[in-house]
Structure 1
Amino acid sequence: MSESGPEPNAEETWDPQVARWRDPEGDYVLPRALRSLPQPWDASDWRRVVKLPRTGERLAEARRVLTVLLEDPALAPQVPQPPSPGLLWHVWEEFHQAVGETMPRPSQVTWSGVDELVRAWRARSQLYPLQRHVVRHVEAAMLAMIPSLRDDIADSVFRWLALDPAPGRFAPWAVDLAERCVIEDIGADPAVELLGAMGGPEARAALERLSVKPGGPARWENADAAQSALFDLGSEGTSH
């Protein structure tokens, strides 16, 4: 009597029911808002971003990038949530990395390129069950890439701003954008860190609003981060 393999789990048999979408401007996969971002912000390439000078032109770019990430609804699609234990998220990330290696800029990500990558995965000598799920339902993986890339880009902008020796000078415009990004959970960790680095009454007030829990505007873990930033600011104030 032959032994049968293990029964597939809920994730392996899950149908995310995501149909392939078409962009009116061509074979593009990612929204125009991402494709039209200036380089190097569009690819969240930290090796290039970190070298950017904080000139007036680049600061204006950073401000526009964050505004687009917050305000364009195409960057916040409803991504189906995989069943527990949610390991599929990690395999989606693996596929996103492969997409980024072959098509590094959002404007280069096309369905024909994605299909070619799917064929390359299928040609592997071995695919794990969740990898097979990705190639069967690649549209779901690519839909999940949109908010993931949005988060990565915001992350790189806030990290770049925090490198400035006097980030408080950005407060008139950056406090509001950072607070909104924490609430939307876009680049939240470096946004909180920037608020802490800026200090000042506006940044402190934003951190106080974000730290409220339960029932506050931010997710629990982001509220925790805001509380920690406030504590650090208080410690700095008492150490002088």
Structure 2
Amino acid sequence: MTYDPIPTVDALMALLADCADVWDTPDRSGDPVDILDHGRQVAAVLAERHPEDEELQVAGLVHDIGHHLVPGDEAGHGAHAATAVEGLLGPRVARLVALHIPAKRYLAAADPHLAPPPGYETEEDVLGEARQLMAQTGGSVTLTTEPIEAVGAAQAVYAEVWVPMDRHRERAERTAQLAAYRVDDTLLSHAPRDAVAMHCRPAARGQEIASEVVDGPRSLVRRQAANRLPTAQAVLHTLVGTARRRRRTT
């Protein structure tokens, strides 16, 4: 480990500010979104879905700082971030950060229908945790390779990026393999009339989601994006307020 645990809220704020110009890949070969902006996006979605869970929102804000702490360590970035924040933010936040891919699955709605194409199947550990969480709430997880079947009873159709930031060089291959899974008006026509379309952004229009959907009447994409600034402000307010309360009691 080549970094020290983050000792204070001020130090965390300084680290987040530094992330405003840091990408998850040293050569910036992924999408042009820095770590701070990505953290704000995640925190915004978490605030919308879990408004009372401040620890979860904070975990979303800081979950990728490991890329800045140890550049180039894609496999270990979650563990690095968790180690750095545990003393300041607590063990639950650290665990969510360390396991933020399963934590993302935690946000899935009850009875999700997952439609991974061949070669893109959900990891067994993630799937196992999702099934456990759904069982606790009386739900279930359904797997299918047919996108039309997946949206048939959906209340929300959530598009995911086809080309992660660390897979930029696979763009052409992935686009060809995933074309049938594009969320467009044709796919949405097979969903219930009140189903909505979502995307955490940044969205690659014409790839995982069509412009006609992003800009259409069933889209919540812009509303999701609008939550970023107030959510980031709320998280910062909470962190600063906590620090002030601690200082008054010491």
* TM-score normalized by the length of structure 2: 0.29
Q: Which structure has the larger Rg?
A: 1
Going by fraction, where is helix more abundant, 1 or 2? 1
